[in-house]
Amino acid sequence: MNSRITPDHITKLKANEIFVFGSNLQGYHSGGAARQAMDKWGAIWGHGIGIQGQTYAIPTMQGGTETISPYVEQFILFTQNDPEKTFLVTEIGCGIAGFKPVDIAPLFSKAVYIPNIWLPQRFWEILQAENR
């Protein structure tokens, strides 16, 4: 599990890697990781959900964590259909959206068992603490 840690600063992607970022439903990728996803790896302006180029958008700006959870579930199911890809999850929702890792990490509890999902270090720490 600890070997599947998303790097803090992603500047390059391998051909099989997908940059997973927090978005808004409208797909206005104007700041943070969303802007990076659009500028570098093919996220599409106006598309706020799902796979786009070498990115995957998870909406985080539409309400509380209960509104993010279905999109995380959808993402986890998606990754299982593409096991050759490595999905590098950033600290979605923990920038412009204003959440803390302790709010978002539990949404990824099922991802612990999916070998092609990598999570940020702080998400792993929270998930491991919950399982003790």
Mean model confidence pLDDT for the chain: 96
Q: Give the integer Cα–Cα distance in Å for 34 and 22.
A: 6
Class of residue 15 by CB neighbours under 10 A (exposed 0-12, middle 13-18, buried 19+)? exposed
Give the residue carrying structure tokens 């391998």.
14
| Angle of CA points 83, 44, 51, to nearest 5° | 15
Is-contact 108 119, C-beta < 8 A?
Answer: yes
Give the global pTM: 0.96
Q: For the segment 81-117, what is each residue's pLDDT rounded down to a tens digit?
A: 999 999 999 999 999 999 999 999 999 999 999 999 9
Q: For the segment 20-41, what is each residue's pLDDT rounded down to a tens digit?
A: 999 999 999 999 999 999 999 9
Beta strands in 61-104 (DSSP E): 86-89
